[in-house]
Amino acid sequence: YGQTEAAPRMACLPPNRLADKIGSAGVALPGGRFAIRHESGDEAPPGGRGEIVYSGPNVMMGYAQSREDLARGDEAGGVLRTGDLGYLDDEGFLYITGRTKRIAKISGVRVSLDEVEAMLGAVAPAAVVAAPDDGVVVFTTCPDAELLAKVRRQLARDLAAAVKLLDFRVLAELPVLPNGKVDYARLTRMGDGDGS
């Protein structure tokens, strides 16, 4: 696991732990450290979810837009707020669950859209975006209306949300960008009522 701003690796999963740490990004590289931070900025205990924050000597100094910016020195202080969501287990192995920008509020409760997609993945390909007011819009390629109604009710139970806040829409195919990733910007426009 890594980001360009951390030159570019932050974690590695040791090969001898592959079988018992399935889904983990591994542990911090020597000299590095992960912390999980709640919105309040407090550090989460093992198993607690929040934003992944990495500290280490390989973190960039900052962003430069001009030659003058290069004289500013180290603005990051060796700390990188990754924008990823996740948790650490009791051995310090990192698990990534989504992105901070991929969050919706359902009746005031923050929900990871990536986690909702993972819940739906066993049924059919699905992409989830925040609804304009409250809730989420689920775009799926599953044409089975009866199955989708059942899945919608189960998702409402799992999220402790009202069924009416989960808007399911069927598409022939999910829109993708040239790089093959889901075009969430287009789906968000569609969820807002703009079909473009």
Q: How does pLDDT run across 21-49, given as a tens digit for each residue?
A: 999 999 999 999 999 998 788 999 999 98
Provide DSSP, 43-112. Answer: BPPTT--EEEEEESTTS-----SSGGGGGG--SSTTEEEEEEEEEE-TT--EEEEEETTSEEEETTEEEE
Number of other CB atoms surrounding residue 94 within 10 Å: 23
Range name among 101-115, 116-130, 133-147, 171-185 with the lowest pLDDT average = 101-115
Q: What pLDDT is attached to residue 107?
A: 81
| Residue 12 CA to its chain's centroid (Å) | 19
Q: How does pLDDT run across 86-119, given as a tens digit for each residue?
A: 999 999 999 998 777 788 888 877 788 988 898 8
> What is the value of pTM for the model shown?
0.62
pLDDT at 82 over 80: yes
CB 102 within 8 A of CB 83: no
